[in-house]
Amino acid sequence: MVSHDQLEQDEKETGRTEAFSDGVFAIAITLLVLELKVPSREVALAKGGLQQALLGQWAMYLAFLTSFATVLVMWVNHHALFTHIRRSRMPFLYLNGLLLFFVTLIPFPTAILAGYIGSGEEPLAVKIYAAICVAICVAFNLLWHYASHGGRLLDRRADMDQVRAITRQYYFGPPLYAVAFVLAFSHAIASLVLCILLALFFAFTGWVRKDHQAASLHRN
Amino acid sequence: MVSHDQLEQDEKETGRTEAFSDGVFAIAITLLVLELKVPSREVALAKGGLQQALLGQWAMYLAFLTSFATVLVMWVNHHALFTHIRRSRMPFLYLNGLLLFFVTLIPFPTAILAGYIGSGEEPLAVKIYAAICVAICVAFNLLWHYASHGGRLLDRRADMDQVRAITRQYYFGPPLYAVAFVLAFSHAIASLVLCILLALFFAFTGWVRKDHQAASLHRN
Amino acid sequence: MVSHDQLEQDEKETGRTEAFSDGVFAIAITLLVLELKVPSREVALAKGGLQQALLGQWAMYLAFLTSFATVLVMWVNHHALFTHIRRSRMPFLYLNGLLLFFVTLIPFPTAILAGYIGSGEEPLAVKIYAAICVAICVAFNLLWHYASHGGRLLDRRADMDQVRAITRQYYFGPPLYAVAFVLAFSHAIASLVLCILLALFFAFTGWVRKDHQAASLHRN
Amino acid sequence: MVSHDQLEQDEKETGRTEAFSDGVFAIAITLLVLELKVPSREVALAKGGLQQALLGQWAMYLAFLTSFATVLVMWVNHHALFTHIRRSRMPFLYLNGLLLFFVTLIPFPTAILAGYIGSGEEPLAVKIYAAICVAICVAFNLLWHYASHGGRLLDRRADMDQVRAITRQYYFGPPLYAVAFVLAFSHAIASLVLCILLALFFAFTGWVRKDHQAASLHRN
């Protein structure tokens, strides 16, 4: 038996893990803007004006947009997982830390992308980006597997159909991003577009899952 | 029917969305200071001393002040909206993400402003700034419309007069900032002043609304 | 009469203001480290090794330490104020925003200090630093005056002796930092030392106040 | 006697200290990525391509990884301490501030490490890194000693066996990191490897402690 005090304690523990994770996601998503460099007056003059200089940085905006969308979708998914998780354990904290490690890394491949699109080095830049995405997907799977295996850290009231639906959906992530990684060897831009589409896919499947949840609630 | 557990779950969900949003607002507002560059000793010497060098950076301070005020007013408004919102849905999270996207962008047009006031390129710098403000207003409208339409995500105890008052007030934002955007084509500084006045206007209308709320409370 | 729902609503509102403020304080205090620049290998070589190059940056470490201590003491004081405050109003949010404005500014005068100690321009650097400290003290007074006047936003159970003790203590801040500001005209380093001593003073008076509070609790 | 109101007040106070600390940990761990510099196109060209340029930065990645793991383990330990702490006092806030001071410093020795591995100046870089780790361990000991001495700030339901186990374990930190510090005089890389092993050690002992806790719970 687990006491009421322990339950309260558990909620407090996942609460602080969520707060720490939210902080890391919020900072990672906000730091991305530091990659948007303002062209100096000298550069603007050389390019024929500020407008030309700003438009010439399209790769930077594309990298920013892709990374923002990716981190946002990850946050939403992290948030969705934690609505089912109620208890904490040390390995869980470190698996969450592994996930956050790759999330905080994202500004680095973003900056590589922004700096090397149009340079002939895109394949490497996109490969690095896709590799980080594969790593994040694997970390999400590890975290969720640890938490949900035998209902280890789940809310006692968690709907097991939903839990299994998340597990099934999460299996798709690593192979799909691995395809993007392999594609980068021959078609860099197509691989980057696939990364964006995958972010949208995970956004959308999350959406459906939640509406289903809302619908099942209304039936009760 | 919605169960008590679900109500608690809902509160927890908007709570984490607020925490994530607060993090993003807090970081965006604090990162602005990184745009305040200290003149190097060489520059200070060339300009006739540190004081002259610092005073020569007035555009930087003006841009910093405008952006700080803008983000603060946005945070207060976001905060005011969430006092009425109690439930969450996936599209709501993404609409909130869209709003945060433009909020995290603000340091970029601020840096453009700081770098190009006095360069003859002010119109473009101010246009970009005003365009981001229009986008933020539209995102606020979308978020609020989604949450309040048919009371979808509102607190069951929300005062519908107030809800409608917010809706009416929010309609003003996009056209007013659009005027600032158009004005930037001919009068850049006047457009920037209008952006500051609009921030004050939204600060002030929020103020009245809350005092009205406090007053109506005291009548009960 | 104020309903129970309104009380809950109030707690939630000050809660989010505290969370936002905590975020700003935490970021401002952590961003200070970005002012600690690592000397390049070229500079280290020119100065006779990494150790000499690092020791030559003592002004940078002093500025970092002073600013860290100042922001920490401010956070503790902000935290102490909010243990007495239970309700929120729009003007209160903007006065808190004014305080946070000056807090987020701190990395800027810190960087000026770090760059100009030993340059002959110390008086100006210290004056700017002291001026920001005066502004923060004034903002603390405005915030506390607004919240405590007639008990406007205070906890109904607040100990009025303590409230008056805070009010009295806060009056000391602006004139004491004004002395530091004036002192900077003739004795820059003495003025900076006074700023550090004032931070310690406010840390210490807060300390006594709390222990008094703890003691009075044990008597109950 | 302590009233129920005071208990609630206490929880609120440690809650805000945790939130502020979480913010500082989250920002410190996320700022580390700013040390990962993208080689410029010129540098990449000079080194024979982007891949060679990126691989040449292995010291930067090693420093990043070490620091990320160190901050994460510290956060988990901080988090574990606060599950036992329920009350707050002014000296406790300043001891926590001392700990956070050294935590926010970490990006600085990390940047030194990243810049000087392979330069012949590694011993100094590793000594600085190990010295900061010693300081953090001492600060952890001071914080925990203040909180746990006579159960001063502990939860009234804290398991005293566990409290003593933490105290014993924490005594190991400073001497072990001091060994790493001394080792840096003769074997810089071995010292850095020891720092990584110590982070793993503290991660692992925490792990055992928690599982023991979970096990003792299941017996109840």
Global ipTM: 0.81
pLDDT of residue C219: 43
Q: Please tell me which residue, B159 or D137, carries the higher pLDDT value.
A: D137
Q: Compute the average pLDDT of residues A196-219.
A: 61
The pLDDT, as a whole number, for residue C1 is 37
A112 and D22 in contact by Cβ < 8 A? no
The pair of three-digit structure tokens given for residue D194, joined into one six-digit string: 């020891």
User: Which of D22, D45, D64, D154 should one mutate to test binding to chain A, selecting the residue with the greatest count of A CBs within 10 A?
Assistant: D22
Q: What are the angstrom distances between the C-alpha of D111 and each of A32, C200, D146? A: 20, 31, 33
Q: Is the four-CA dihedral D111, B40, D38, A21 of positive or negative sign?
A: positive
Contacts of residue B34, Cβ cutoff 8 Å, sequence gap at least 6: A34, B107, C31, C34, C107
Contacts of B105 in chain A (CB under 8 A): 33, 36
Cβ contact, residue pair A3, D33, below 8 Å: no
* Greatest mean pLDDT range, B202-216, C39-53, D192-206: C39-53
From the candidates C18, C50, C205, which should be mutated to test the interface with D, based on the most D CB atoms within 10 A? C50
Nearest-by-Cβ selection for B27 from A30, A72, A157: A30
Q: Please give, rounded to a whole number of angstroms, the shortest distance from the CA of D1 to a CA of chain C.
A: 6
Note the pLDDT of residue C151: 78
Using an 8 Å CB-CB cutoff, list chain B residues near C3: 217, 220
- For residues D66-80, give the mean pLDDT: 88
Bridge partners for D154 per DSSP = D85
CB-based contact B41 C2, cutoff 8 Å: no
pLDDT, tens digit (0-9, with 9 covering 90-100), for A173-200: 888 888 888 998 888 888 888 888 888 8
Given a contact cutoff of 8 angstroms between Cβ atoms, the answer to whether B64 and B35 are in contact is: yes
pLDDT-derived band of residue D218, with 50, 70 and 90 as boundaries? very low
Q: Which residue has the tokens 């938490």?
A: A147
List pLDDT tens digits, range B39-72.
888 888 888 889 999 998 888 888 888 889 889 8
> Distance (Å, rounded) from C-alpha C59 to C-alpha A56?
41
pLDDT given at position B211 = 47
Mind telling me how many Å the CA of D217 is from chain C's nearest CA?
33
Q: Which of B3, B108, B112 sits opposite A33 (nearest CB)?
A: B108
- Mark out the alpha helices in A47-187 (DSSP H runs): 50-55, 58-82, 90-105, 107-116, 122-148, 160-183
The least confident of A35-49, A68-82, C193-207 is: C193-207
Residue D85: strand pairing partners? D154
CB–CB contact A23 D26 (8 Å): yes
Q: How many Å lie between the alpha carbon of D107 and the closest alpha carbon of chain C?
A: 7
Range with the lowest mean pLDDT among A12-16, C110-114, D99-103?
Answer: A12-16
Nearest to A35 by CA among B80, B198, B134, B105: B105
pLDDT recorded at residue A206: 55
Residues 6+ apart with CB under 8 A from C120: none
User: Residue A160: exposed, middle, or buried by beta-carbon count in 10 A (0-12, 13-18, 19+)?
Assistant: exposed
Rounded to whole angstroms, the Cα distance separating B28 from B33 reads 10
Residues of A with CB under 8 A from a CB of D: 1-3, 5-6, 9, 12-13, 16-17, 19-20, 23-24, 26-28, 31, 34, 89-91, 93-94, 97, 100-101, 104-105, 107-108, 111-112, 115-116, 119, 121, 124-125, 128
What's the CA gap between A177 and A195, in Å, rounded? 7
A108, A126, A127, A146, best to mutate vs chain D, most D CBs in 10 Å:
A108
The C-alpha of A132 sits at a distance from chain D's nearest C-alpha, in angstroms, of: 14
Which other chains touch chain A, taking contact as 3+ CB pairs less than 8 Å apart? B, D
- What does the pLDDT read at residue A201? 80
CA C214 – CA C81 distance, rounded (Å): 16
Mean pLDDT, residues A20-30: 90
Question: What's the CA gap between D92 and D94, in Å, rounded?
Answer: 5
Stretches where chain C sits below pLDDT 70 are: 1-13, 205-220
Instruction: State how far the Cα of B40 lies from the Cα of C112, in Å rounded to an integer.
Output: 9
Contact B38, B70 (CB under 8 A): no
Shortest Cα distance, chain D CAs vs residue A162, angstroms: 27
Over 70: is that where the pLDDT of D212 sits? no
Residue D54 identity (one-letter amino acid): L
Judging contacts by C-beta atoms under 8 Å, the chain A residues touching residue D49 are 121
pLDDT tens figures, B140-195 = 999 999 988 877 778 777 778 888 888 888 888 888 888 888 988 888 888 888 88
Identity of the residue numbered B132: I
Q: What mean pLDDT is reported for chain D?
A: 82
Sequence-distant (6+) residues with CB within 8 A of A158 are A84, A151
Output phi, psi for C206, to 5 deg: -60, -45
Burial A175-186 (b: 16+ CB within 10 A, else e): ebbbebbebbee
Neighbouring chains of C at 3+ CB pairs under 8 Å are: B, D
> In angstroms, what separates the C-alpha of B189 from chain C's closest C-alpha?
23
Nearest CA-CA distance, residue A85 and chain B, Å: 12
Contact A108 D75 (CB under 8 A): no
Q: Which residue in chain A is spatially nearest to B109 when comparing CA positions? A: A38
pLDDT confidence of residue A121:
83
Two structure tokens written together for B7 = 């109500």
d(CA B214, CA C88): 10
Q: Which of D130, D214, D217, D120 is nearest to D178 (CA)?
A: D130
Distance (Å, whole) CA A1 – CA C80: 40
Give CA–CA dist D69/D196, Å, rounded: 8
Rounded distance between C-alpha atoms, residue A197 and residue C6, angstroms? 45
Cβ distance D30 to A34 less than 8 Å, yes or no, reads no
User: Considering only B81-90, C94-103, D6-15, D34-43, which range has the smallest mean pLDDT?
Assistant: D6-15
Mean pLDDT along residues D204-209: 57
| Chain mean pLDDT for chain C | 82
The Cα–Cα gap between C152 and D189 comes to: 61
Residue for token digits 């998503």?
A: A29
User: Looking at A93-97, A167-171, B204-208, D12-16, which range is the least confident one?
Assistant: B204-208
Mean pLDDT value across residues A138-143 = 91
Q: Do D9 and C207 touch (CB under 8 A)?
A: no
Cβ(A21)–Cβ(A78) below 8 Å = yes
pLDDT band at A215 (very low <50, low <70, confident <90, very high): very low
Closest residue by Cα to residue B182 from B118, B116, B112, B130? B130
Q: Decide if B79 and C100 are in contact by the 8 Å CB cutoff.
A: no
What's residue D206's pLDDT?
A: 55
> Could you give the CA distance from residue A98 to residue A140 in angstroms, rounded to a whole number?
9
Q: Give the whole-angstrom CA distance, residue A195 versus residue A66.
A: 8
Residue D73 near residue D202 (C-beta atoms within 8 A): yes
Alpha-helical segments (H) within D32-89: 41-46, 50-55, 58-82
CA–CA dist C34, D149 (Å, integer): 36
pLDDT at C99: 94
Percent helix / strand / coil, chain C, rounded to 5: 85, 0, 15
Question: How far is the C-alpha of D72 from the C-alpha of D103, rounded, in Å?
Answer: 11
Among residues A190, A206, A176, A185, which one has the least CA distance to residue A72?
A206
**Residue B215 CA neighbour count, 13 Å, CB half:** 7
Residues of A whose CB is below 8 A from B89: 210-211, 214
- Residues found in chain A: 220
Q: Which of C24, C89, C121 sits opposite B26 (nearest CB)?
A: C24
- C65 forms beta bridges with none
Chain C residue whose CA is closest to D117: C41
Residue D188 banded pLDDT, cuts 50, 70, 90: confident
Would you say residue B220 has pLDDT above 50? no
Residue of chain B nearest A17, judged by CA positions: B16
Confidence band of B219 (pLDDT split at 50, 70, 90): very low
**pLDDT reading at D58 higher than 70:** yes
Beta carbons within 8 Å of C209's beta carbon, 6+ residues apart:
C80, C162, C165, C166, C169, D90
Q: What are phi and psi of A56, to 5 degrees?
A: -65, -15
| Mutate: best of D38, D64, D71, D86, partner A, most A CBs <10 A | D38
